[in-house]
């Protein structure tokens, strides 16, 4: 039997490849973006309590009422925009599911979605599976900012969606209020929708505020915003995220969501609702928590031959390795994990066209011991 693949460009993700190599070569894994420390104890206790109470069967498909209510309260508190927990908020099995459901719900065959490279690797497959095309616009290096004129030039009658990501993975760049004004001006009086990937919304540094599209009424009216409990509460393995969108968009989103996963891990939803209500200080203190890790990691790498790029948000550090080796980033990462004992992620897999840079991504959502062990090896290169 011959099977014609629907995703000819897709293989095993670079994250899985590098994590496997890290295990194989006993390397310090700064590749895949997960913390190596535990979620808050009170959150873990709430999860165990929910399971002990027998809350182990299906949750409501759109999420438990208590959790949707807490998300609505948090969203209004942070961004000043009131959404209905009944009609506008949907709990999902991770942010990646939410991103796929959003694209599948509104993007049709023959249409186009503008994405910005380097782009998270799930975006384009989700677009292509709808019979649509991803239009890639490279961000401006080294700031990884958007050239809005290039966006205007890329708009066609087929443009259905613009997909933005802030804080940005892998660069850590953040969009400004002026960026959102530019985006609003571009989509005004058009049928173009916005999908905003904001999974690192609570990890913004140096006193800056996260500029969610939910702060911008004009954009909020035509956007689906995706976030992640895993990133905020150090529990990526629980795979719980959510989407916020106006009622009509949410209705279309939910049509797809119900046939992807139907519902999301029930005990975790109960635990998150309880923890959001009792400990809102957690996400408010998260910028300072991760800024301390960012600053410590940069201090540890200061003696190395790596050039450190600025990190305005997120928990990744981009480094330029050109003073160490003159080869492409994929080859460098393979050499680094085998010979240097550290796993990193190359940027090329985030691009439609290889950028020709000498940059790799290191994750600092790690314990002090992990960062110190990695830095000791990196400083020997």
Q: Could you give the CA distance from residue 328 to residue 361 in angstroms, rounded to a whole number?
A: 14
pLDDT for 9: 84
pTM (two decimals): 0.96
> Can you read off the two tokens belonging to residue 235?
């529990």
Q: Where are the domains of the chain?
A: 14-39+282-378, 41-279
Please compute Rg for the chain using Cα positions: 20
Contacts of 348 (CB under 8 A, 6+ apart): 328, 329, 330, 354, 355
User: How far is residue 230's CA from residue 234's CA, in Å, rounded to a whole number?
Assistant: 6
Q: How many CA atoms lie within 13 A of 33 on its CB side?
A: 20
| pLDDT range class, residue 52, cuts 50, 70, 90 | very high
Q: What pLDDT is stored for residue 10 in this prediction? A: 82
CATH number among 3.40.50.300, 2.40.50.1020, 3.40.640.10, 2.60.40.1260, domain 41-279 = 3.40.640.10
In tens, the pLDDT along 303-358 reads 999 999 999 999 999 999 999 999 999 999 999 999 999 999 999 999 999 899 99
Does pLDDT of 12 surpass 90?
Answer: no
Separation of alpha carbons 137 and 146, rounded Å: 8
Determine the 3-state secondary structure of 238 from DSSP.
Answer: helix
CATH class name, domain 14-39+282-378: alpha beta
One fold for 14-39+282-378 and 41-279: no
- Residue 370: HSE in the Cβ half-sphere, 13 Å Cα cutoff: 19
- Please report where in the chains the tokens 């993007």 appear, as a residue: 107
Q: Among residues of the chain, what percentage have pLDDT more than 90?
A: 91
Q: Is the dihedral of CA 249, 254, 255, 259 positive or negative?
A: positive
Residue 341 region by backbone torsions, left for phi larger than 0, else alpha for psi between -120 and 50, else beta:
left
Closest CA to 72 of 250, 321, 193: 250
pLDDT of residue 352: 92
């Amino acid at each position: 039997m011959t099977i014609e693949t629907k995703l000819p460009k897709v293989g095993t993700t670079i994250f899985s490849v590098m994590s496997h190599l890290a295990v194989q070569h006993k390397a310090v894994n700064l590749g895949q973006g997960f913390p190596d420390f535990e979620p808050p104890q009170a959150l873990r206790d709430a999860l165990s309590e929910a399971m002990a109470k027998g809350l182990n069967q299906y949750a409501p498909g759109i999420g438990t009422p208590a959790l949707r209510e807490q998300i609505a309260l948090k969203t209004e508190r942070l961004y000043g925009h009131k959404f209905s927990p009944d009609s506008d908020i949907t709990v999902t099995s991770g942010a990646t599911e939410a991103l796929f459901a959003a694209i599948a719900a509104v993007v049709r065959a023959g249409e186009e979605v503008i994405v910005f490279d380097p782009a998270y690797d799930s975006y384009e497959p989700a677009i292509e599976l709808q019979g649509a095309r991803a239009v890639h616009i490279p961000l401006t290096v080294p700031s990884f900012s958007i050239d809005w004129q290039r966006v205007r030039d890329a708009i066609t009658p087929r443009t259905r969606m613009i997909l933005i990501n802030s804080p940005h993975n892998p660069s850590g760049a953040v969009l400004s209020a002026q960026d959102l004004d530019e985006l609003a001006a571009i989509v005004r009086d058009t049928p173009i929708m916005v999908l905003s990937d904001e999974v690192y919304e609570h990890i913004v540094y140096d006193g800056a505020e996260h500029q969610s599209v939910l702060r911008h009424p004009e954009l909020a009216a035509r956007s689906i915003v995706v976030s992640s409990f895993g990133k905020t509460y150090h529990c990526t393995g629980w795979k719980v995220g959510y989407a916020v969108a106006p009622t009509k968009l949410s209705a279309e989103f939910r049509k797809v969501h119900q046939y992807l996963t139907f519902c999301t891990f029930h005990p975790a939803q109960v635990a998150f609702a309880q923890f959001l209500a009792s400990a809102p200080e957690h996400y408010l203190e998260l910028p300072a928590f991760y800024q301390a890790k960012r600053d410590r990691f940069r201090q540890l790498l200061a003696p190395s031959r790596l050039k450190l790029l600025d990190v305005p948000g997120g928990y990744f550090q981009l480094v330029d390795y050109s003073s160490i080796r003159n080869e492409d980033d994929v080859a460098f990462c393979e050499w680094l994990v085998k010979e240097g004992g550290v796993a990193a992620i190359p940027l090329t897999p985030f691009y439609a066209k290889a950028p020709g840079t000498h940059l790799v991504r290191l994750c600092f959502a790690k314990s002090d011991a992990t960062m110190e062990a990695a830095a000791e090896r990196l400083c020997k290169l």
